[in-house]
Structure formats: C-alpha cells, structure tokens
C-alpha cells in the first residue's frame, strides 16, 4: 500500500495508464486480425483500406511506446507482403 499522497496519486495514474495502454493494444490486434481475414478472403480493395488504418494504429502505438519502433516497422513490412503475395 502507498504510504504518501504522492504515492497514492502515482498508483491511480498507473492504473489509468495501464487501462488506456491495454485498450490501445487490443484495438491494434483486432485491426490486424481484421486485415488478415480480408487478405485470406481475397478482398484486395477492402484489405488495402484496412492496411492504412493498421499502419496508422501501429505508428501511434510506436509513438506512445505501447510497442517498440522496430516491432511496428517489422509488422508493417510483413503485413504489406501479405497483400502483395496472398497466403497459399
């Protein structure tokens, strides 16, 4: 348990930040899953549109340190390859 008022406030802030970060990470994962479903369904127009939203979410997550910058770059590269060469 926190002993001081500042420690209590820091604890409250950490809880709020964790909730925000988990929510952002979950929405990122959901958008990636939706994109992969569109690629498998061979719907290139919708997949292209979804890819831009996935890129936006990846960049935002990397900017706010939800994920690391290189992970965002790696995912963007791999997801771009999927639309260029659909899954077997």
Residues 32-79: tens digit of each pLDDT = 999 999 999 999 899 999 999 999 999 999 999 999 999 999 999 999
Q: What is this structure's pTM?
A: 0.85
Q: Helix, strand or coil for residue 7? A: helix
Which of 21-30, 60-69, 76-85 has the weakest average pLDDT?
A: 76-85
Domain regions of the chain by residue span: 5-84
Instruction: Give the containing element (helix H, strand E) for 53.
Output: helix 44-63
The CATH number of domain 5-84, selected from 1.10.3720.10, 3.30.70.600, 1.20.58.110, 2.40.30.10: 1.20.58.110
Classify residue 87 as left (phi > 0), alpha (psi -120 to 50) or beta. Answer: beta
First to last CA, the chain: 54
What is the distance of C-alpha 41 from the center of its chain?
Answer: 22
pLDDT over 70 at 86, yes or no: no
């Amino acid at each position: 348990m926190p002993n001081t008022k500042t420690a209590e406030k820091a604890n409250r802030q950490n809880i709020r930040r964790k909730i925000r970060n988990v929510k952002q990470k979950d929405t990122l994962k959901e958008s990636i899953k939706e994109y992969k479903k569109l690629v498998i369904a061979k719907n290139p127009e919708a997949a292209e549109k979804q890819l831009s939203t996935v890129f936006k979410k990846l960049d935002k997550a990397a900017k706010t340190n939800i994920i690391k910058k290189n992970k965002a770059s790696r995912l963007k590269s791999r997801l771009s390859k999927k639309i260029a060469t659909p899954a077997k």
